[in-house]
Chains A and B, each alone.
Chain A
Amino acid sequence: MKKILCILTVAFLVTDFGLYAQNQNDGQQRRQLGHTNENKFKQLYDEFSTPNMYRTGSGAPGSAYYQQQADYKMDIELDDKNKKITGSETITYTNNSPDVLEFLWVQLDQNRRSKDSKTPLISSDDVKLASSPEEFVGSFLREPFDGGFNITSVKDASGKPLKYTINTTMMRVEMPKNLASGGKFTFSIDWWYNINNHVDGRGRSGYEEFDDGNRAYVIAQFYPRMAVYNDVEGWQNHQFWGRGEFALPFGDFEVNITVPADHILDGTGVLVNRKEVFTSEMMSRYEKAKKSYDKPVIIVSQKEAEAKEKVFSETKKTWKLKAENVRDFGFATSRRFIWDMMAVKIGGKDIMAVSMYPKEGNPLWEDWSTKAVASTLKSYSRMTFDYPYHKAISVHAKNQGMEYPMICWNYGRPNPDGSYSDRVKFGMMSVIIHEVGHNFFPMIVNSDERQWTWMDEGLNTFVQYVAEQDFGEWYPKAIAPAKEYPSRRGPAAKIVPYMSGDQSFIAPIMTNSENIYQFGPNAYAKPATALNILRETVMGRDLFDYSFRTYSKRWMFKHPTPEDFFRTMEDASAVDLDWFWRGWFYTTDYTDIGIGDVKKFVVSKEANKQVKDYAEGRGAKLEDFGPLVFMVEEGTDEYNTMKSNGNILDNATTLKEYLMDNFSVEERKIMKSPKFFYEVTFVKPGGLVMPLIVEYVYKDGTFETVTYPAEIWRKNDLSVKRAIPSEKEIVRIIVDPNQETADIDTTNNSWPLAEQKGQFDKFKEKMKQ
């Protein structure tokens, strides 16, 4: 009992000092005001919606989770001569929700390109004092391109016209009677539109026109598509302004696409009439490709494609594709396409990795596109779940990258003479890995892109980093002379310029896609970096990877929200991450952690003045507190008279007595005998809470790294102290020695304050040598 009392008293002795002094200084000041819970570790109850039967507190789909189904049967015809596409589609919509639906919402994304599109009206614009004639004509003289949908009929299954209302990019269809829970409604829409040039007009879908008059079409969001109805948004009918991408329900597709007979076409789904559209030569090459696991087999060669350039077939051919459980449908077609394929084994199943490209993509494309596709499927399947579709296609489009189920378009074009820079090569490989990766996020883990760009782009860019590093390892020839793949996004240090930038141009990650200032860093790089830091520094690979896979599997072929992700990562790991989500996703805070002060102490024979004064101030004698061990700070006046030399026990009789009375000789032998005591004050000028990673360097050159969990900041967000006993003298202390935390200011990261040389000074010095 007495012992406890003693310890308590000493503890109070220390804390009381501060309070005592403060009370005296403040004198008659007003009482402090109260406040709400502003702790950075406060759980996210206010930000998160309450769990329910649809979505559980664990982050998994709940027992009443449902999702709607939209099945499509479509006949499409592409008119190459007039750059027009016409379609007739029948949608069967299944209402799996418990709700009665009074109307349906259908998305008309092409209306962003209609003459009366509101998209151009929401960007601010100013008169340019100088511009190219092309720009001037485009801005002021030319009639805007009319690429919106022309809806020619909307009818129910019996052919009776349905009432519909078009609000810009959304169409409300009224049903003859309300659609009950569990009910199905079948209706059809006929439509056509003028296809845009996606190179000039910068689009995700459209054609590229070559000098010889040929075109390569990459066609997507080309048909009226059902909007998502769910427990979170009701109808997700937020307009398509051009940036925030898509939210789509899953369904089965049967699509017949009629194109000029000399075209090569591929798209989402299984080609069901291969024998009708393939030559026998192509068939036998295809059979060979299905067994080629190490390199692609050419199905249509460059020579064969070139032979068709001048012919422009007048006859037509219909390609029939069938896809199950996809959220969308896209296709690419041209007579100029070269086509190659190889097989890749994923979880015991053979998947086809496919590339289609005009000759302009060579030699880069025939060398690396299909291999990059195969490599990506392997990496992503390891990080998430086995790729469930039967193929993945990479199509070469001149200057854009965009993703659809099983098919994507990618840039990366060599110079006309076939030469290319590293920028083009790595740009091409990175974009293929990225877009093929989108098959997982959001095509299968089907998040709402219209609302949250980061949920697919951020997660995808994170896995892209892992996949790029794999690709570099598996195909060293592809990246030579580089030794590892030069990823642009992922490593912590690469996000520092963005996070340390002007706050007026930074928005939290949890911001709607249309309202972000710096789209790339905000929706791609920052969430990807945050996840990389979470994996490498906060959770560790084992806990992170298991949780990330759990999230992917839980929400495979479903519609997750941000909270489902946040909750699952905690649920599967037992790591409280609310502080991490709050800081990295809900604020624009940045990391800045440093060393404020380092004091050295030694055990002293007697109490110093401060301790004595304290006892005196209370009218007590030091002896009243029982036996005490005293310490004195190096560098103070008292230090020289009271300092220890050698063994601490020599100075502290009380400690020696205590040890001898309470421990055996054997026990005493294995006890630590620190000779140096340090009190280190760590400061945190940055708002982000992060683990405190500290490297202690000893006089003999050895060092030790200690990671204090982020929770060390839970009671004081600005600074914390640590008492460090050490057998060896510490000569240097470094915070975040390996730049794992995206610390934006490293000038305060070491003690003694190292002369901090910036990048500029370091370079200048190097040049002088």
Chain B
Amino acid sequence: MKKIVFILGVIFLTISSFTTTHKFYVSVTQIDYNEEQKSLQIISRIFVDDFEATLQDRYDSSIKLSSENPNDKIDGYIEKYLQQKISISVNGKPVVFEYIGKEYDNDLILCYLEVEGVQDLETIEVSNTVLMDAFNEQQNIVHVKKGTQRKSLMLENEISQGMLKFSE
């Protein structure tokens, strides 16, 4: 707990040190456990310029992430990348997520992922190394919500995975 406080503290310091910011490298992933649908509904918010640069470096320098560029191939690249960089275990067992799609919101890209058939959520382990291959300073915040309980992880290069426990 203490560590999370510290890490969050540092993050927010970086985000808005004096007035607004230095360029910062942060993604925010929201994981909601939908009890009715027995699924983990995941929305990952990533800065579109950083994501574009990373996909260009890895796959194809012609990749353009923009709502004005409806290109089917892009979804393939995004899915391939996210499948490599995000992994989730529920109650100690690895689970598979499906890439539902993406949308753009100003300077962010929102990626929608879903894990189905989650009968119960007691513990969740998340590893998220998105963009850490491109940016040393990349930090990935993960918020998990089950009912009214909300817990958070701060993932960085050296601690890129973490576990959260949900008690009834």
CB distance from B39 to the nearest CB of A (A): 9
CA of A72 to CA of B2 in the docked complex: distance in angstroms?
A: 46
Binds B, one of A359-367, A655-663, A755-763: A755-763
CA of A438 to CA of B19 in the docked complex: distance in angstroms?
A: 10
Instruction: State whether A763 and B19 are in contact (beta carbons under 8 Å apart), knowing that A502-B152, A519-B13, A758-B32 are contacts in the complex.
Output: no
Is the C-beta of B124 less than 8 angstroms from some C-beta in chain A? Answer: no
Could you tell me if A760 and B112 are in contact, using CB atoms closer than 8 angstroms? yes
CB distance from B110 to the nearest CB of A (A): 8
Could you tell me if B100 and A401 are in contact, using CB atoms closer than 8 angstroms? no
Binds A, one of B42-50, B77-85, B87-95: B42-50
CB distance from A413 to the nearest CB of B (A): 9
| Binary per-residue interface labels of chain A (741-760) against chain B in the complex, 1 for a CB within 8 Å, 0 otherwise | 00000000000000000111
CB distance from A393 to the nearest CB of B (A): 16
Instruction: State whether A421 and B49 are in contact (beta carbons under 8 Å apart), knowing that A411-B23, A763-B100 are contacts in the complex.
Output: yes
CA of A411 to CA of B21 in the docked complex: distance in angstroms?
A: 8
Could you tell me if A423 and B47 are in contact, using CB atoms closer than 8 angstroms? yes
Instruction: State whether A760 and B41 are in contact (beta carbons under 8 Å apart), knowing that A130-B157, A424-B49, A519-B12 are contacts in the complex.
Output: yes
CA of A403 to CA of B41 in the docked complex: distance in angstroms?
A: 42
- 12 pairs from A and B in contact (CB 8 Å cutoff): A130-B157, A401-B20, A411-B21, A411-B22, A422-B48, A422-B107, A423-B47, A424-B49, A427-B107, A520-B15, A524-B20, A763-B101
Selected from B12, B100, B159, the residue in CB contact (under 8 A) with A517 is: B12
Residue of B nearest to A127 (CB): B158
Contacts of B23 in A (CB 8 A): 399, 411
Residue of A nearest to B68 (CB): A481
Contacts of B3 in A (CB 8 A): 126
Binds B, one of A146-154, A428-436, A553-561, A583-591: A428-436
Known: A126-B3, A401-B21, A501-B143. 15 other contacts (CB 8 A): A123-B10, A124-B2, A132-B136, A399-B23, A400-B17, A400-B21, A411-B22, A421-B48, A421-B49, A427-B107, A500-B150, A519-B17, A520-B12, A758-B34, A760-B42
Could you tell me if A505 and B8 are in contact, using CB atoms closer than 8 angstroms? yes
Selected from B15, B20, B157, the residue in CB contact (under 8 A) with A431 is: B20
Could you tell me if B19 and A764 are in contact, using CB atoms closer than 8 angstroms? no
Majority SS of interface residues in chain B? mixed
Is the C-beta of A486 less than 8 angstroms from some C-beta in chain B? Answer: yes
Contacts of A502 in B (CB 8 A): 150-152
Could you tell me if A245 and B18 are in contact, using CB atoms closer than 8 angstroms? yes
CA of A640 to CA of B9 in the docked complex: distance in angstroms?
A: 63
CA of A485 to CA of B59 in the docked complex: distance in angstroms?
A: 33
Is the C-beta of A128 less than 8 angstroms from some C-beta in chain B? Answer: yes
Is the C-beta of A345 less than 8 angstroms from some C-beta in chain B? Answer: no
Complex A-B, nearest 4 residue pairs according to Cβ-Cβ distance, in ascending order: A520-B16, A423-B107, A421-B49, A760-B41
Interface residues of B (CB under 8 A from A): 1-3, 5-6, 8-10, 12-13, 15-23, 32, 34, 41-43, 47-49, 52, 68, 100-101, 103, 106-107, 112, 114, 136, 143, 150-152, 157-159
Is the C-beta of A665 less than 8 angstroms from some C-beta in chain B? Answer: no
Residue of A nearest to B9 (CB): A517
Contacts of B158 in A (CB 8 A): 128-131
CA of A422 to CA of B50 in the docked complex: distance in angstroms?
A: 12
CA of A517 to CA of B136 in the docked complex: distance in angstroms?
A: 24
Residue of B nearest to A522 (CB): B12
Contacts of B103 in A (CB 8 A): 763
Contacts of B157 in A (CB 8 A): 130-131
Is the C-beta of A15 less than 8 angstroms from some C-beta in chain B? Answer: no
Contacts of A504 in B (CB 8 A): 1, 5
Contacts of A426 in B (CB 8 A): 106-107
Selected from A243, A430, A431, the residue in CB contact (under 8 A) with B13 is: A243
Residue of A nearest to B40 (CB): A760
Contacts of B17 in A (CB 8 A): 202, 243, 400, 519
Is the C-beta of A335 less than 8 angstroms from some C-beta in chain B? Answer: no
Is the C-beta of A396 less than 8 angstroms from some C-beta in chain B? Answer: no
Could you tell me if B5 and A519 are in contact, using CB atoms closer than 8 angstroms? no
Contacts of B159 in A (CB 8 A): 129
Q: How many A-B residue pairs have CB under 8 A?
A: 118
Could you tell me if B101 and A767 are in contact, using CB atoms closer than 8 angstroms? yes
Could you tell me if B18 and A402 are in contact, using CB atoms closer than 8 angstroms? yes
Residue of A nearest to B16 (CB): A520
Could you tell me if B8 and A759 are in contact, using CB atoms closer than 8 angstroms? no
CA of A403 to CA of B19 in the docked complex: distance in angstroms?
A: 8
CB distance from A112 to the nearest CB of B (A): 13
CA of A402 to CA of B5 in the docked complex: distance in angstroms?
A: 27
Could you tell me if A764 and B6 are in contact, using CB atoms closer than 8 angstroms? no
Selected from A124, A202, A243, A403, the residue in CB contact (under 8 A) with B6 is: A124
Could you tell me if B32 and A400 are in contact, using CB atoms closer than 8 angstroms? no
CB distance from A411 to the nearest CB of B (A): 7
Contacts of B107 in A (CB 8 A): 421-423, 426-427
Could you tell me if B47 and A402 are in contact, using CB atoms closer than 8 angstroms? no
| Binary per-residue interface labels of chain A (583-619) against chain B in the complex, 1 for a CB within 8 Å, 0 otherwise | 0000000000000000000000000000000000000
Chain A CB within 10 Å, residue with most, of B19, B21, B43, B136:
B19
Is the C-beta of A167 less than 8 angstroms from some C-beta in chain B? Answer: no
CA of A760 to CA of B13 in the docked complex: distance in angstroms?
A: 30
CB distance from A578 to the nearest CB of B (A): 29
CB distance from A332 to the nearest CB of B (A): 16
Contacts of B6 in A (CB 8 A): 124, 126
CA of A97 to CA of B156 in the docked complex: distance in angstroms?
A: 52
CA of A554 to CA of B8 in the docked complex: distance in angstroms?
A: 39
